[in-house]
Amino acid sequence: MAAKAGIKIEAPSATDLVLDLLFTHPRQALTVQALARAAEVMDIATPAVRVALTRLQRQGRVAKTGRGSYAVRLEGNPAHHEVQYWFDKESRLRDWKGDWLVVHDAAVARSAKTLWRHHQRALELYGFRMLDTALWVRPDNLDGGAPTMEAALRRLGLAREALVFSARQFDPASAQRMTGLWNVPGILAGYRHAHALLARSTARLARLSPAAAARETLLVGRAVIRAIVRDPLLPEAIQPGAERHALIDATRAYQAGALAIWETLLQSEAD
């Protein structure tokens, strides 16, 4: 969850909208007509959707499955598992025994801007924080330990020169610094803000037109899910998890309603 309490609601680009809809649709495929209708709801012009589809196809992120129909390519979207299975995020947790996952990246060239950006994004997505120059840490409380974490980080763009390993028995001062790297009050406030945002939106939906309700659920849902995806999954000894669990449950219920709204809206175009 973001360090600050606020959940940032942003209108998606044409590219983001196409990927969001393809990932969440039961068949993970839609026609151009359905995507154009969704874009209209989000105030995005149809030509922008066609440009986005062409670019995504060229990048290997979507594939044409028939005349005027596109599907998402999971192998072309390395972050798809983290995004698509946000609701199952907590299943990765295991008891924390005080060990830490460490990434040492002194050998990674900072001058390669794109590589460095992907490298940092992978670390931040999995909740790592910088302890010292070239040293990133997070609690070793996720299934699979260092080997599984390294594979996930590499898939997301961790630089090949970085070292990933587990460590223990830090001196007391360092251990105290490490447990304080996350803004726990800010994380908990973020949960509460997101929960309230979902409740307010749910109360509004019945008063909105189908198109307005679809727009509302996409904006709110993707903002909250983006925050859940970036949650560091800290152990109970650092941060209690009850509020995170409650938020995931509330978001799951909200998204079930949102999907029903969007399926109804796009049904004629998808058939």
∠ CA(17), CA(83), CA(22), 5° rounding?
Answer: 40
Nearest residue to 124 (alpha-carbon basis) of 185, 82, 95, 80: 82
- What pLDDT, on a 0 to 100 scale, did the predictor assign at position 270? 47
> What pLDDT, on a 0 to 100 scale, did the predictor assign at position 6?
62
- The closest of 137, 220, 149 to 180, measured between CA atoms, is 137
For residue 125, the SS3 value is helix
pLDDT tens figures, 201-248: 999 999 999 999 999 999 999 999 999 999 999 999 999 999 999 999
- Residue range 134-146, pLDDT digits in tens: 999 999 999 999 9
**pLDDT attached to residue 231:** 96
Specify whether the CB–CB gap between 98 and 179 falls below 8 A: no
pLDDT in tens, 90-134: 999 999 999 999 999 999 999 999 999 999 999 999 999 999 999
Q: What is the per-residue pLDDT for 67?
A: 84
Q: What is the pLDDT of residues 145-197, one digit of tens each?
A: 999 999 999 999 999 999 999 999 899 999 999 999 999 999 999 999 999 99
* pTM for this prediction: 0.89
Distance CA 227, CA 109 (A): 29
CB distance 36 to 52 below 8 Å:
no
Q: SS3 breakdown of the chain: % helix, strand, coil, rounded to 5?
A: 55, 10, 30
Q: What is the mean pLDDT of the chain?
A: 92
pLDDT at 23: 86
